[in-house]
Structure 1
Amino acid sequence: MQKSPLTSTGEALLRGQLQTLKTSERQRLRHVLEEARAHGDLKENAEYHAAKEEQGLLEAKISYIESQLQSCTVIDTSKLNTDKAVFGAIVTLENIETEDKSTYQFVGEAETDMEQNKISYRSPVAQACIGQEVGDTVSVDTPSGQIEYEIMDIRYS
């Protein structure tokens, strides 16, 4: 099985999420199930069946996060000392045509979050940037054509 990279911040977030699911969410569902059982006949008890289904989804999510944590290699990006864009880098790009700037962090797939501008190191943008330095121009193939970016900044946290 191939180990997938994960930043130390991503590992901490997954462990926190797992702890919440295992403690407070399991406890909440236990109370919901007890309450639904108190309503009587379980065969026709929609609340009970919905709670059981939610319990199954919760356990699947817990298993999924545990498997992600078991199959990862944690990389402490704060200790990286390179001028090149590599896994964990926070890279600011400028679209050469539109002059729009975007900042992304290249992270493992388990911690990808577009709302926080964390993209997979396997994404086309990250793949074009990895190994490059500030001032380099990279081309990214997109469905609407090729876009060229200049790397404006690379930093690590």
Structure 2
Amino acid sequence: MYLSSEGLKRLKEELEKKKGSRAEIAQKIQEAKALGDLSENAEYQEALATQSFNEGRIIELEEILRQAQVISERTNHKHEAVEISAQVKVESKFGNQQFTIVGSSEADPIKGFISNESPLGRAFIGRKSGQEVEVETPKGKVKYKILDIL
């Protein structure tokens, strides 16, 4: 699992926040228990579901952080080929676009951050400026020409 140092920091902060909310969730469970019959107690069921989700996310975050490999920060030099942390300027039938290749836990395609594990990310990795790649997308096959790698 690849992470930028910024991504690592965000996940550590989220983990601390999730761990910090344990006491509040436990308090809500106790308050809901005091309301009576647990089998038909919506507050109790909701508090248990919140606790389950929170604990699941804590486990997930701890595993991500355990496996994380921090990638080197981008510098002002141009990349020879597309790699994680590179910004890629491309041209396709949708016009010119720019993507940043990131690890899967930092991906946010709407903001232009694509995972190195996504079909588009895998197609770009290792390619150089001027090369073309064809990727199967939900909108059909799309050909991308790599214009620049930053």
- Could you tell me which amino acid in structure 2 is paired with residue 76 of structure 1? S
Q: Deviations over 1:94-150 (max 9, x none)?
A: 10xx35122222111222222322221022222222222333322223465432212
1:152 corresponds to: 147
Does the CA contact (< 8 Å) of 1:107 and 1:119 recur in 2? yes
2:133 corresponds to: 138
2:97 corresponds to: 102
1:6 corresponds to: 3
2:36 corresponds to: 40
Structure 2 SS opposite 1:36: helix
Does residue 73 of structure 1 match 2:69? yes
Structure 1 SS opposite 2:47: helix
Q: Report the alpha carbon displacement of residue 30 of structure 1 after superposing the two structures with TM.
A: 2.8
- Could you tell me which amino acid in structure 1 is paired with residue 15 of structure 2? L
2:118 corresponds to: 123
2-side partners of 1:50 and 1:37: how far apart? 12
Does the CA contact (< 8 Å) of 1:91 and 1:103 recur in 2? yes
Q: Give the TM-score normalised by the residue count of structure 1.
A: 0.80
Q: Give the TM-score normalised by the residue count of structure 2.
A: 0.83
1:57 corresponds to: 53
Gaps of at least 5 residues in structure 2 are: none
Q: Report the alpha carbon displacement of residue 86 of structure 1 after superposing the two structures with TM.
A: 0.5
Gaps of at least 5 residues in structure 1 are: none
Superposition RMSD on alpha carbons, in Å?
2.3
1-side partners of 2:117 and 2:71: how far apart? 16
- Could you tell me which amino acid in structure 1 is paired with residue 108 of structure 2? D
Does the CA contact (< 8 Å) of 2:90 and 2:146 recur in 1? yes
Q: How many residues were matched structurally?
A: 149
2-side partners of 1:94 and 1:27: how far apart? 51
Q: Report the alpha carbon displacement of residue 63 of structure 1 after superposing the two structures with TM.
A: 0.3
**Percentage identity across aligned positions?**
34
Does the CA contact (< 8 Å) of 1:32 and 1:51 recur in 2? yes
1-side partners of 2:7 and 2:22: how far apart? 23
Structure 1 SS opposite 2:50: helix
